[in-house]
Structures are given as C-alpha cells and as structure tokens.
A and B are shown apart, each in its own frame.
Chain A
Amino acid sequence: MAEPSKRPNPVIQLTLMRLREIGREPGVLFWAFGFPVLLSIALGIAFRVRGPEPTVVGALPGITADLKQILVDAKLQVKPLDPASAETELRAGRVNLLLVPPQTPGQPITYRFDPSRAEARQARSMVNQILQRAAGQMEPRLVRDEEVREPGARYIDFLIPGLLAMNLMSGSMWGVAWVIVHMRVRKLLKRLLAAPMRRRDLMFSMGLARMVLIPMEVAFIVIFARLFFSVQVAGSYLALFTMAFAGSACFAAIAILVASRAQNTETVSGLMNLVMLPMFIASGVFFSASNFPDSIQPVIRLLPLTAMCDGMRAVMIDGAGFVGILWPLAILALWGVPAFLVGLRYFRWN
C-alpha cells in the first residue's frame, strides 16, 4: 500500500464544506445578499424624501387673471372653480383655500378656509403673504431659509444600519442554527462524530465560515446603499466591522443555544422566529424604538438587536468611535457568552 499522504486541516476542510454548500446553492445567496437589498430599495423608495404637498387655491369666477398669475408665479396651484362645486372641493380638502371675489369693487377679497385644518391655515398665511408682498408690503427683518436634506438625516440613513444589523442577525441564526439542525436531521452530525473529528473543530468552522461571509454581507449592503442612496459611513470602518463581528458572534451563540436540542428543522425554524420576530418589531430596525412606551424601554434597550442597531447607527450616522459602541458591545457579550456556554452544555450531538 502507498505511503499515507499528508493530512489536510480539519478546520479548513469543515469550513470549506460550509462555504461550498452555500456557494453552490443559489437560493442561499439570494437570501443572504439579494433579499436585504430588495428590502432596502422598497423601503427606501416608499420613504424617499418628498417635497411638501403643494398648496391648492380655488379661485371663484371674478378673481382676476393678474391675481391668479401672482399665485402661480409663487409656485402655488390655482384651480378655477364654479360656486357650486367650490364648497364640495373645500370640504373634501382638495383645495386648501377659496378666493372669493368682492361683491362690489373696492371691497376686500375673502379667504374662505377651514381653520381646523393645519394646511388650510398654512395656505391662508402663504396666500396672504404673497398677495400683500405683491401689493408692496415690505419685510423689515432680513431672514434666510435653510432646508435640511443632508445625507445622514434621511429615513434611508436610519434604515440602512438597521437593515445591516437585522441581516447579520438572520445570517447568523440561519447560518448556524438551521445548519446544525439540518446536519443533525441528515445524520451528518452523527457521521462526523463517528470519525475522529474534534467537536470544537466543527463549532470553530461554523464561526469561521460566518467570518468569511460577514465582511461580504456588510460590504455588499454598504456599497449598495452608498451607490443608490448616497448613504455615508460617518465613523470608521474598523468600528463598523467590529460591531458587525461582535453582533454576528452574539447571534451565532444564541443560534447554538436555539439549535442545541432541536430534532427537526421545523422546530428550529419556529424557535428562531420566536427569538427573532419580537426583535424585528421592538428593536427599531425600521422605526425608532423610542416610539414604544416608556415602561418597556428598559427591556427594549437590553435586547441584542437593539444594541446592534444602536451601535451600527452610532458608527454610520453619528460617526462614533470605539468608545461610542462600548455599551452595545457589552450588551452583546452579556447575551452571547451565557448563550454559548448553555448551548454547548446541552448540545445534542446525535
């Protein structure tokens, strides 16, 4: 028999198995990369920055063309209306204000509007200002307007770090918990144990496979958000990746706990949803978690996904450095370390 050849490295081989299984399964790639991008496109478009609603002024017959032109020049919409339909339009809010001509020349024009509607009061003040200024009114105090549409303050800037956190959470949960249970169901876990494989090598390889994928997942979303929505990373990339790795490690640990006993993939899917769904809602991925009542804020603030969202936003929006993410990192460790130890303790190998 030939001389036994050189032995390959088990951790590398186990990691390669994982990466090959992912890379050769197009569905997995879509959920890891395509899905978060589609989600951010959909939400980014739904909540894109829009100008204020145009102010619509109804003009009854008898309002002069000059007057209408002044308002049109000031970017208001002027809608000529007959007296019959005018009241209906006003009630329905399709026009914010009605201009009623004086019944006899020399009398004042009447502004007809519903003062309980904010946009009607706003229209009255705009129309009045425009008309008075056109009639020669001076503004003694000089002022200047500045509109805030800077990157960093938009909804998409808030959304992208949250999506990044959510995606890393799902990636770790599916990539560890589901994979472990799938291996258990297929008896692959048992088969590997029947070989002289060290258990820690298998655990280590799962972590290593995630480590390879995390930078790709993060870079993909960050680059996409930058190209399509000009979302910037205000802080350092080192802090960003530290957050990403710490968060993923925490959720991988929770995944080991979730997968430690589950005997079939349905059970583990249910358990994963039980863990993830409340955090999808409560942790402020899509909307600020501060909208929830004060009484449950302490709980929400301690959730690992909240910590990850906060940390990601601190780095990407506020430009926080390592000092700024210490608290989120501490919360992640608080969850991750016990979950890992308990999960390993009760892990069912076959």
Chain B
Amino acid sequence: MNQQLAPAVVCRGLRKVYDGRHGLFRKPSPSVVAVDGLDLVIERGECFGLLGPNGSGKTTTVEMLEGLLAPTTGEIQLLGLQWATAEQALRERVGVALQETHLPEKLMVEELLTLFRSFYRTPRPMADLLADVELEEKRRAWVGKLSGGQRQRLAIACALVGEPEVLFLDEPTTGLDPQSRRQVWGLVAGYRARGGTVVLTTHYMEEAERLCDRVAIVDHGKLVRVGSPSELIAALPGDHVIELELEKNTKNTASALTADELGQVRFVKEAHLSAEGVWSLAVREPEHAVAAVLALLESKGCALGRLGTRKASLEDVFVALTGRHLRDG
C-alpha cells in the first residue's frame, strides 16, 4: 500500500492473551483473553474513540497499536508501516500519552520537555509546546507541584513534542475536574486543527460524543459496534429517553408496572427497569410519549414519583448493545 495514502491505523484480527501463571511462588491463574480479534481502520485526520468500561481491553488495544505491547496474533499497520520493521521511524511520527505515567516529580516543566525534545529529530520549539498546553507560567515549576489537570496537559505536551501524525491518548481526562477536562478537549481540538489523527480511549460518554468523529464500542475485548456518535444514537429504537420512578410508598414497585405494559404504549419502543427501581423508556416524539405514559399510570392507579426526559446518549447505545452500563465496569 502506498504509505502516503495509507490509513493512520489498520489492525486485523488483533488478539492478546495473557498466559495464566504457574509457578512455585505464584498463585496459579487462568489465561485471560484481553483483546479478542479486533479489526479497525482509522483514517487520517479522524478522531477515533475506543469506548468501553474498565477491563474491556481498551488499554491493551491502544498499547498494542502504540507498539508497546506485542499482540498474541494479528496485524497492525500505522501510516502504512509496521512496528517490527520501522519502529524508530514510527516513534518519530506517533505521539503517546499513557493512561498513567508518573513523570519525574523533581524536574521542572521545561526540563522535562527539554528531555523529550532531545529524543526527536525535529522537536517543536519549547515556546509552542508550552503555549499549546497553557503551561507558560509553570515552566519553572516542579512537575510534582502541578495540579492533576496541569500534569495531564504536560503528559500530552510530551506526546506532542515530535508534532506526531497520530496521537494516542489513553483515558486523557479520567479523574480530572470538569474545567481541566475542557482544557484537555481544547488541546485535542487544537491538535486536530493542525491536521493530526487522534486515537483515544474513554469511558466518558460526553467526551466521546464531543471529540470523536467515530467511536468503537468495545466490550470483553471485542468490537461491538463502530460508527459516528450520531449514527449510533440514531440506530437506537428511540432517540429520547424517559426516566420515571414511582412514588416510594407504592407497593411492589417492580410488579406495579411491567415492561410489556409500558412497551405497548404508543411511541415507547423499549422499557427497562434498573436495580434502583428506575424505568428507562426508549421513545420517539417524547412530548407525545410522556402524555401516553402518564395516561397509563393513571389508569393503573400508580402514583408518579419522578419523571424526566433527555436525549439518548452513547451510554444508552452501550446499554442497548451490551445490557450493561459503562460505569459498571
């Protein structure tokens, strides 16, 4: 394939099995299939998200794509090149921010960036890097003194030193406050505006909907669905969700209403009762659906506790595809 036209990332039949451990001093453990036959094509200039709960194999997948972990089987091409034969060339062209790196705490921000600049043939100027991640004022601060958000931006700055063509971000905003999260999103947007390709993992819906052109929903090491967030949501039976809860003193909340009864209601496509006793109804035309649902409650003599409507999200896509919530892990 022509390298100039090759997609940013191609992987076929990607599989990673961690062998069970047996030994004198180790507890025996069974083999674990972390990634189970993944096929992906990520185009240049695209922001691609791997979406899934903890333990779904996202990190294992990106670390294989990053060339840091050898796949058990399967094939990976980045920018038309393979890690086995072109590692040094690829390292110059690919930026990586690991899920968790404890950068040296006793170094100053600019000392650390200088270290990373020393690895690349044509590093970006220090001033540009600092400006990108809004750390100009912290250039002489010790890494250990930075806040969580600043540290994460610094980690991304380290990944941007070589002006990579592909940028891998593994859970870039996990554990960050909303403002820091938005700063990271801005950073990703800025990099994409310069033409870069982004591959990120996340278990935040909002992040995936906001940043990603396409997302791959991953569960148990398998690809469940790929598409743009709007496509995936549009494919749901309902584009809105009604959440309703009966009054607490209602006896037998579970049996007062049944999924079948609710599913019969006009505009309601699907009904699902959570363990906490909250009904989620996938609906079309929510304004009509609400009226119809209320009519049903009245006819059954059920007292309403709480009712709300919202647009369907990737979370609902995930629940619909896997029967689990992302945060369930």
Contacts and interface: CB of A to CB of B under 8 A. Distances in A.
Given A5-B123, A5-B126, A7-B122, A195 B102 contact: no
B126 A196 contact: no
B128 to A, nearest CB: 6
Given A7-B117, A8-B114, A13-B118, A194 B91 contact: yes
B96 A194 contact: yes
Given A10-B118, A17-B104, A20-B107, A191 B96 contact: yes
B135 to A, nearest CB: 17
B106 A25 contact: yes
Given A7-B118, A21-B106, A187-B101, A193 B111 contact: no
B106 to A, nearest CB: 4
Quick one: which of B106, B119, B124 has the most chain A CB within 10 A? Answer: B119
B125 A14 contact: no
Nearest to B114: A8
A196 B117 CA distance: 10
A1 interface: yes
Nearest to A196: B91
Given A17-B111, A191-B98, A195-B91, A4 B122 contact: yes
Nearest to A4: B122
The main secondary structure of chain B at its interface with chain A is loop
B89 to A, nearest CB: 9
A21 B142 CA distance: 11
B123 A4 contact: yes
A294 B97 CA distance: 58
A204 to B, nearest CB: 13
A194 B67 CA distance: 8
Given A7-B120, A194-B91, A24 B106 contact: yes
Interface in A152-191: 186-188, 190-191
A190 B126 CA distance: 23
Given A13-B115, A195-B119, A196-B119, A187 B125 contact: no
A296 interface: no
B129 to A, nearest CB: 10
A4 B117 CA distance: 10
Interface in A16-70: 16-17, 20-21, 24-25
B119 A188 contact: no
A330 interface: no
Given A194-B68, A196-B92, A186 B101 contact: yes
A265 B23 CA distance: 21
B266 to A, nearest CB: 54
A190 B98 contact: yes
A17 B115 contact: yes
A350 interface: yes
A93 to B, nearest CB: 55
A29 B233 CA distance: 59
Interface in B57-108: 66-69, 88, 91-92, 96, 98, 100-104, 106-107
A24 B143 CA distance: 13
A2 interface: yes
A100 B143 CA distance: 82
B111 A186 contact: no
Given A196-B88, A196-B92, A7 B121 contact: yes
Contacts of A25: 106
Interface of A: 1-5, 7-10, 12-14, 16-17, 20-21, 24-25, 186-188, 190-197, 350
Interface of B: 66-69, 88, 91-92, 96, 98, 100-104, 106-107, 111, 114-128, 142, 158, 161-163
16 contacts: A2-B127, A2-B128, A4-B124, A7-B122, A9-B118, A10-B115, A13-B118, A14-B118, A16-B115, A21-B104, A186-B101, A194-B66, A194-B91, A195-B96, A195-B158, A196-B119
The 4 closest A-B pairs by CB, nearest first: A196-B91, A186-B102, A194-B96, A8-B118
Given A13-B115, A195-B120, 10 more contacts: A4-B163, A5-B123, A5-B126, A14-B115, A21-B104, A24-B106, A191-B103, A194-B67, A194-B91, A196-B121
